Amino acid sequence: MSPTNTSTDEFRRRDGRSPQDLRPITITRKYTQAAPGSVLIRAGDTIVLCTASVDESLPPWMKKDETRGWVTAEYNMLPGSTSPRKSRERAGKVDGRTTEIQRLIGRSLRAVVNLDALGPRQITVDCDVLQADGGTRTLSITGGFIALVDAVASIAAKLPPQAPVFRTSVAAISLGLVADRLLLDLDYSEDVRAQVDSNMVMTGSGEFVEVQGTAEGRTFTRQQLADQLDLATTGIQQLTKLQREALGAVWPWSD
């Protein structure tokens, strides 16, 4: 099997990007007023609204252990986010894909949170896809972290200063092999043609939270997996920089 083609010479994608380029990303904090954390994040034509709400109580299954908190997530694609229209999901009728994605988002956010320092409260991060053009789950994690930081900042006076809530940051990116070429941050037209489709969740300190890689049309080699991990790392570094710039003074670390 031939090695991954990572050359950028004379190759441009549909939107003019090089293989290793992210889509243009915009981040608008405090997009709504009701939730203490609220972020509208856009990557190309994918748009997600992430809100983080604080509940000063724990879910029933945690009532026996009120020494630590909890972070959970919900994910939904609005009916008009795709064409044709996606049927609205009702309570108790969430499909398997939605369940998988919201569990991924929750796991990813909890991976960087000190739940003991959060105290006996729950933060719910809601990720609602307003427009889908690939990478909705990864963009939800990247934007969800920003919303979560703002929500925690809103209760800073209630938290012990000696025990930081955040261990590090977290972000996620999609990538894959399309026509034997490794591409970062796939849009929908690339995703549906991908021979290998991957999603990588990483911390700002460079550790992996989750690696999802699937052979859609062909298998892939250990070297191609290594190439994907390297490219994902480059993408996460860029996303972490954007998160830090968006949060400004609220960024949890001074260096």
What DSSP string runs through 63-85?
TT-TTS-EEEEEEEE-GGGSSSP
Q: Provide the pLDDT for residue 4.
A: 63
**Check: CATH 3.30.230.70 for 25-85+95-246?**
yes
Token digits of residue 118? 């959060």
Q: What amino acid is encoded at 132 in this protein?
A: A
Residue 222 pLDDT level (bands cut at 50, 70, 90): very high
Encode pLDDT of 189-198 as tens digits. Answer: 999 999 999 9
Q: Is the pLDDT of residue 91 over 70?
A: no
97: closest CA among 80, 77, 79, 115?
77
Domain spans, the chain = 25-85+95-246
HSE value, Cβ hemisphere, 13 Å, CA-based, for 194: 25
Q: Provide the pLDDT for residue 14.
A: 87
Range of lowest pLDDT (81-85, 170-174, 182-186): 81-85
Q: Provide the pLDDT for residue 123.
A: 98
Q: Provide the pLDDT for residue 8.
A: 46
25, 60, 82, 95, 197 from 45: Cα distances, Å: 10, 39, 11, 24, 19
